[in-house]
Amino acid sequence: MVNADDPDSKVTLSPTALTGRIDHLDVLRGLAIFGILLVNMMYYAHPIIYYQIIGELPWDSLLDRVTGYAIFFLAEGKFITMLAMLFGIGMVIQMDRAETKGTRFFPLYFRRMTILLLFGAVHAFLIWMADILLAYALMGFAILFLFRKCKPKTLIIWAIIFLLIPVSLGVLMYGLALLAGTDPAIAQEMEQDAEQFIEFFRGLADRSAEIYSTGSFAEIMKIRTIDVGLMFAFGIFWMPLAFALMLFGVAVGKTGIPQKIEEHKTLLIKVIRWGFVLGIIGSTAALIGYINADQVESDYWGIIMYFGVAVGAPALSLFYAAGTIQLYRSGKLQKFFTRLSAVGKMALSNYILQSIIATTIFYSYGFGLYGSIGPAVGILITLAIFTLQLFISPLWLKYFHYGLLEWLWRTCTYMKIQPFRKTNHA
C-alpha cells in the first residue's frame, strides 16, 4: 500500500466515481442547505449581527418576534452543525477511498481546503458577509493536520471540549462582571462604557441598513469588510460548536456507520429519541437564556443560553438527521427526497446561489429591501428560493454531472479537467 504521507510515493490522482455517492448523505446535505437558508434570511435582510452584540432586535411586530424566536429555537445552530458533521463524515469517506486507490490523501485534501478557502473569501468579501466556507476550510485544515489520525473516542472527547468552550467563556465573563461589580467606581464606569458601547453599535446598525439598501457597491464592499471581521471576531462563540460537530462527524465516519446505515436501525431509533428529548430541553434553555440575557453586561442568563446551545443544537441536529434518514428509508416522499438529494449534490453551488438571490432582493444593486422585511415574510422568501432550487437542481443534474462550483472544485483539486456535461441523458 502507498504511504499517504510519503512525498516520494508514486500515485495517480483521480476523483471518486460518479456513482459512488451515499444517497442519504446527499439528502441530509440538501436539508442542511434549507435550514441554513432559513436562518441566514434574517442576516440577509437586516444588520442583525450588530443588534445581537447589544442584545436587541431590529423588528418590533409580535409576529416577527415570535417567528424570530421560533427560528432560533428550531434552526439556529442546528443546520450549520449538521453540515459540519456531514463535512467530517465526507472527509473520512474521501480518506478511505484515497487509501483504497493508493492516493496520497494529505496533499489532495490540502488542495481541496485551499480551494474552499478561496471560494469562501470570494463569497464573504464580494457577495455576503456571513460566509461559512472560510470557517469550514480552516476547520478542515485543523483536522487534516491535528485530528485525522485520532481514534473515534479521542475525537468525541475533543468534540465535547470544544462544545464547552462557549459555556466556559460565558462563565468567565460573568465571573469577571461580578468581580468588577464589587467596586462601585468600576461598576459605574462599566455602566457608562456599556451605554457608549450600545450607542456605537446602534449607529453602526443604522449606517449598515442605509448603505446596504441605498449605497454604491464600493460602499457595500467597505462595510461588508467590517462585517466579516465582526463575524470572525465573535466566531469564538459559534465556531467551536461547528468544529465539535465536524470532529463528531469524523468520529462517526471512522465507525463506518454512514456507509452501513441499514445495519444500525436500533441506533438510529435511539438517536431520534434522545436527540428529540435533549434537543427540546437544551433549545428551551437556550431560548430562555437568549431572551433574558444581557449581552453587553454578562449575566447568568448568558451562561444558560450557551449551555442550552451546547446541548440543544447538536442534539436537535442529530434528531433532524436521524429522523430524515428514517423517513427516507421508509420509502415515503421519494419524489421529494430525490429533489432534496439533488440539492445536496450541488450543496456548494446552491449555497452560493442563495446568497446571490437574497442579496439581489435586499441590496441596493437589486431591489433594495434591506432592513424592511422581518422574519415572518423572510420565511416565505426562504420557501420560494428553496422551492426553486428543488426544481432546478434535478433539472441541472439531468444534463450535467455536477453543479458548476462542484465541477470547478473537483477540477482544481485533482488538477485535471473533470467531465461536466453528460453525453447521454434521459
Residue 425's pLDDT band, with cuts at 50, 70 and 90, is: low
- Percent with pLDDT over 70 in the chain: 94
Residue 294's pLDDT band, with cuts at 50, 70 and 90, is: confident
User: Alpha-carbon distance 185 to 202, whole Å?
Assistant: 26
Reported as a single tens digit per residue, the pLDDT across 231-256 is 888 888 889 999 999 999 999 999 98
C-alpha cell belonging to residue 309: 446551545
C-alpha cell belonging to residue 30: 440538501
User: Alpha-carbon distance 405 to 412, whole Å?
Assistant: 10
Reported as a single tens digit per residue, the pLDDT across 180-195 is 767 777 767 777 777 8
Q: Please report the pLDDT score of residue 12 as a whole number.
A: 43
Phi/psi at 421 (nearest 5 deg)? -85, 135
pTM: 0.91
Q: Please report the pLDDT score of residue 6 as a whole number.
A: 38
Spans of all domains in the chain: 26-414
User: Alpha-carbon distance 163 to 318, whole Å?
Assistant: 15
User: Alpha-carbon distance 113 to 349, whole Å?
Assistant: 16
Q: Please report the pLDDT score of residue 404 as a whole number.
A: 97
Q: Please report the pLDDT score of residue 141 as a whole number.
A: 97
C-alpha cell belonging to residue 213: 439598501
**Mean of the per-residue pLDDT values of the chain:** 90
Phi/psi at 294 (nearest 5 deg)? -95, 105
Scan for cell 417567528, then name that residue: 67
pLDDT at 18 exceeding the cut of 60: no
User: Alpha-carbon distance 309 to 75, whole Å?
Assistant: 11
What residue spans of 215-264 are helical by DSSP H?
217-233, 239-255
Interval 89-95 mean pLDDT: 94
Query: Any idea what DSSP says for residue 421?
Result: B
Query: Any idea what DSSP says for residue 370?
Result: T
Identify which of 401, 410, 408 has the alpha carbon closest to the alpha carbon of residue 14. Answer: 410
